[in-house]
Amino acid sequence: MKIKVADRISEVQEYYFSRKLREIAQRRSEGEDIINLGIGSPDMAPAPEVIEELRRAAADPTHHGYQSYRGIPELRSAFADFYQRHFQIGVDPETEVLPLIGSKEGIMHISMAYLGAGDHVLVPNPGYPSYRAAARLAGANVIDYELNSDWLPDFEKLESEDLDKVKIMWVNYPHMPTGKNAPIGFFEKLVAFATRNNILLCHDNPYAFILNSNPSSLLSVPGSKETAIELMSLSKAFNMAGWRVGALVGNQDRINEVLRFKSNMDSGMFKPVQLAAVAALRSPLAWFDSLNDEYRARRVLAEDILKQLGCKLDGEQVGMFVWAKVGPVFSDGENLSDLVLDQSGVFIVPGMIFGSRGNDYVRISLCSPQPLLTESLRRIKHFMTATIAQS
């Protein structure tokens, strides 16, 4: 049978990490000892009380049926309380919170709810590839906005262009992959820009509590709910990537509009997972402190790896990755990534997958234990010794 895929599928490729993880698995099955320093999948467990709540709730026979499309009231309230406690932002749990099966789901739901053929979407370059893929799947035109040398948008340049067809602008601070944190006053400039140009700001905020002494939310800007929505995820800061729990926070109209699409796509999360997420959202600050102590130690090793490779990095990055510019020994990030994988069995991510502005960069995840990072450093030293000897 010859069955042609829909045109929307021809606009996107299989997700890079999906392909790369399959390649790594194949090479491991053939006997190669490969260390994966690429994907940001936390390797540590959630807090014990989170796991215990899942166990307790799963034992209740009444918890196994279909769940509300809007999530259980306890989870919506927990997200609202979290925003009040950590960001000092008032959020109505009844109308302004929509739990999601992870924030990546939210990226697709938002795109499908607002975008269609002829619409334009502003996507950061470099930036998370899913913004671009979701827009294309929705039939919209992707407009890259290149981040400047400080990894921020150039508002003056953007406003010199025709923005009439732009409906959505994706932003993400702390920024992935660069680790740039939002400077003072930046969110205010974003909201003002979006308001002037009638653009819906979509802020993806999963890294606020990782190695960041000043967690913040775009919704802290007065009046921002009129022009902005925010995605939050439990994947990173709570070690719950595989649990698939996130939320969309915004005003009632935006929540209801996205819900119209979402309610046709799923039947809500497993209730015990939602109840466990409530326990996670109530975690004390000590939870983040303990997590960050470990990431801080790992970061030292990751920086050493990149320095051994001759890369240049910014010591003020936040989040669970380290982003670095490739040195003169290698032609670009992809060249460096391929050589390191083939000759030392260590996988680091080439920056080109995040857009053309990432061509000369690589990224290391902090989601590997210190012994693996130490072994990676040993291999990298051996690789660089051989590389320099040959040059």
**pLDDT given for residue 12 in this prediction:** 62
Cβ within 8 Å of residue 34, ≥6 positions away: 24, 27, 28, 341, 345, 346, 347
Residue ranges in 66-151 assigned as alpha helix (H): 73-87, 103-114, 129-137
Going from the C-alpha of 353 to that of each of 13, 126, 198, the distances in angstroms are 12, 8, 30
**pLDDT given for residue 7 in this prediction:** 76
Residue closest to 124 by CA, chosen among 183, 185, 169, 162: 169
Going from the C-alpha of 236 to that of each of 89, 211, 250, 251, 360, the distances in angstroms are 21, 11, 21, 25, 26
| Tokens 């262009």 -> residue | 161
> How far apart are alpha carbons 44 and 51 in whole angstroms?
12
**pLDDT given for residue 74 in this prediction:** 98
**pLDDT given for residue 389 in this prediction:** 63
> How far apart are alpha carbons 21 and 328 in whole angstroms?
28
**pLDDT given for residue 75 in this prediction:** 98
**pLDDT given for residue 240 in this prediction:** 97
Per-residue pLDDT of the chain (391 residues; tens, 9 = 90+): 778 777 777 666 666 767 777 888 888 889 889 999 988 899 999 999 999 999 999 999 999 999 999 999 999 999 999 999 999 999 999 999 999 999 999 999 999 999 999 999 999 999 999 999 999 999 999 999 999 999 999 999 999 999 999 999 999 999 999 999 999 999 999 999 999 999 999 999 999 999 999 999 999 999 999 999 999 999 999 999 999 999 999 999 999 999 999 999 888 899 999 999 999 999 999 999 999 999 999 999 999 999 999 999 998 999 999 999 999 989 899 999 999 999 999 999 999 999 999 999 999 999 999 999 999 999 999 988 887 666 6
**pLDDT given for residue 15 in this prediction:** 65
> How far apart are alpha carbons 317 and 323 in whole angstroms?
8
Q: Please list the residue range(s) of the chain that carry CATH number 3.90.1150.10.
A: 7-45+286-390
Going from the C-alpha of 306 to that of each of 87, 127, 150, 203, 363, the distances in angstroms are 34, 21, 20, 29, 9
> Amino acid identity of 188?
E
Contact in structure between 353 and 362 (CB atoms under 8 Å)? no
Query: Which two structure tokens, joined as six digits, stand for 77?
Result: 């309230």
**pLDDT given for residue 69 in this prediction:** 92
Topology of the domain covering 48-283: Aspartate Aminotransferase; domain 2 (3.40.640)
Q: Please list the residue range(s) of the chain that carry CATH number 3.40.640.10.
A: 48-283
CATH number of 7-45+286-390, picked from 3.40.50.1820, 3.90.1150.10, 3.10.580.10, 3.60.40.10: 3.90.1150.10
The phi, psi pair for 125, rounded to 5°, reads -130, 105
The helix or strand, by DSSP H or E, that contains position 353, with its residue range, turns out to be none
